[in-house]
Amino acid sequence: MRPTSNVNAMQNVVERVLNLLIYLLESPHPVTSNDVRHTVHGYADQSDEAFHRMFERDKSVLRRLGVPLKMEALDAWEIDEGYTVDPDEYAIPDPGLNQEERLALSVAARMVRLGGTEAGVGAIIKLGGMERGDGVEPLGADLGEGAEVLGELFGAISDRRKVEFSYRGHPRPVEPYGIAHRRGHWYLVGNTPDGERIYRVDRIEGLAVGEKAGVFEKPKGFDVKNAVDNQPWETGSDPVVGTEVKFDAEVAWWAARSLGLAEPKSELTTTVDVANRDAFVGWVLSFGTSAEVLGPPEMREAIATRVGEALVRLP
């Protein structure tokens, strides 16, 4: 296709969708696809098949724009259904931001990337456009890929809709409670037939969101911040063992930061609650000879065993 026809095709879609949206917002009653076809500019002179294809595409554009397009019965017998957009539901609610708050959000929106684009700019535009600050903004953060899946989960969480997806090859029905970005990954926390579970969002495949909203209650006091652990060794099925570990002065300040402790002047000896022994052994060994587990004996043994296993496997 030549570039000019691409541009024309886009121009036609933009005009047609604007006209369609105006028609839907202004019609006092739900309208059928036939009404649309014979009333809205841009649909005439199409074959049945071409019209249906165009109309399906345009409806999906409306949904992607955030337009609440609904089907409603046309008459009391509910035999035929028509399309409608309620102007009150269409309108963006006003969060009542003042100038300073708008500027702060605009700056943040441009700093953070999600799914390869500036995360909040689309939202800022709808809220009345960006406010410009002065000077260079050197700060930025990338929250990874998967914006579409995250958006769908976010919508399902707000509306209390059930979701279903495949995780490591198994189907999972989940009542989604929250999502969290931690240690560089997004996690979903929700209720399953087996109790509360955590899923890595990038491993979710074939996400389907339930039709009905408001089908479950989030437990009182649920907070996704507490549901997703900070450290890999906090998540596990091992009995929790308070483990004493010592870090040399050279690395103690860095270990303290990783553990969220105050930075020590020289070496650091501290006790860490370990629920996942494998993960903790791995972390301690990443310090080489600069860290030593002091006790209990079974944790020292676990370290020695791991090192022994690695050594026998060397060529």
Verify binding: residue 34, other proteins, rule CB under 8 A: no
Alpha carbons 285 and 276: distance in angstroms, whole number:
15
What angle is formed at CA 280 by the lines to CA 277 and CA 286, rounded to 5 degrees?
140
71 vs 123, which CB is nearer to other proteins? 123
Q: Are strands 163-167 and 170-182 parallel, antiparallel or unpaired?
A: antiparallel
Verify binding: residue 76, other proteins, rule CB under 8 A: no
Count residues contacting other proteins (CB under 8 A)? Answer: 129
Verify binding: residue 194, other proteins, rule CB under 8 A: no
Using the rule CB under 8 A, give the single segment among 43-51, 75-83, 105-113, 265-273 that binds other proteins. Answer: 105-113
Alpha carbons 28 and 140: distance in angstroms, whole number:
47
77 vs 237, which CB is nearer to other proteins? 237
Verify binding: residue 14, other proteins, rule CB under 8 A: yes
Identify residues 119-158 at the interface with other proteins (CB under 8 A).
119-132, 135-144, 147-148, 150-152, 154-155, 157-158
Using the rule CB under 8 A, give the single segment among 70-78, 237-245, 246-254, 268-276 that binds other proteins. Answer: 246-254
Verify binding: residue 5, other proteins, rule CB under 8 A: no
135 vs 206, which CB is nearer to other proteins? 135
Verify binding: residue 57, other proteins, rule CB under 8 A: yes
Verify binding: residue 59, other proteins, rule CB under 8 A: no
Number of Cα atoms under 13 Å in the Cβ half of residue 281: 18
48 vs 94, which CB is nearer to other proteins? 94
Verify binding: residue 262, other proteins, rule CB under 8 A: no
115 vs 236, which CB is nearer to other proteins? 115
What angle is formed at CA 19 by the lines to CA 51 and CA 45, rounded to 5 degrees?
30
- Which residue(s) pair with 81 in the sheet? 73
Smallest CA-to-CA distance from 142 within 107, 116, 163 is with 116
11 vs 192, which CB is nearer to other proteins? 11
28 vs 79, which CB is nearer to other proteins? 28
Q: Are 272 and 280 in contact (CB under 8 A)?
A: yes
φ and ψ at 226, to 5 degrees?
-85, -25
Alpha carbons 110 and 106: distance in angstroms, whole number:
6
Distances (CA, A) of 238 to 242, 259, 271, 276, 280: 12, 20, 17, 6, 11
Helix (H) or strand (E) holding 187: strand 185-192
Residue 62 makes CB contacts below 8 A (sequence gap 6+) with 17, 20, 21, 69, 85
Verify binding: residue 1, other proteins, rule CB under 8 A: no
Smallest CA-to-CA distance from 16 within 63, 57, 72 is with 57
174 vs 224, which CB is nearer to other proteins? 224
Verify binding: residue 292, other proteins, rule CB under 8 A: yes
Provide, rounded to whole angstroms, the least separation between the CB of residue 59 and other proteins: 11
Smallest CA-to-CA distance from 175 within 217, 147, 212 is with 217
Using the rule CB under 8 A, give the single segment among 72-80, 111-119, 237-245, 268-276 that binds other proteins. Answer: 111-119
Provide, rounded to whole angstroms, the least separation between the CB of residue 79 and other proteins: 25
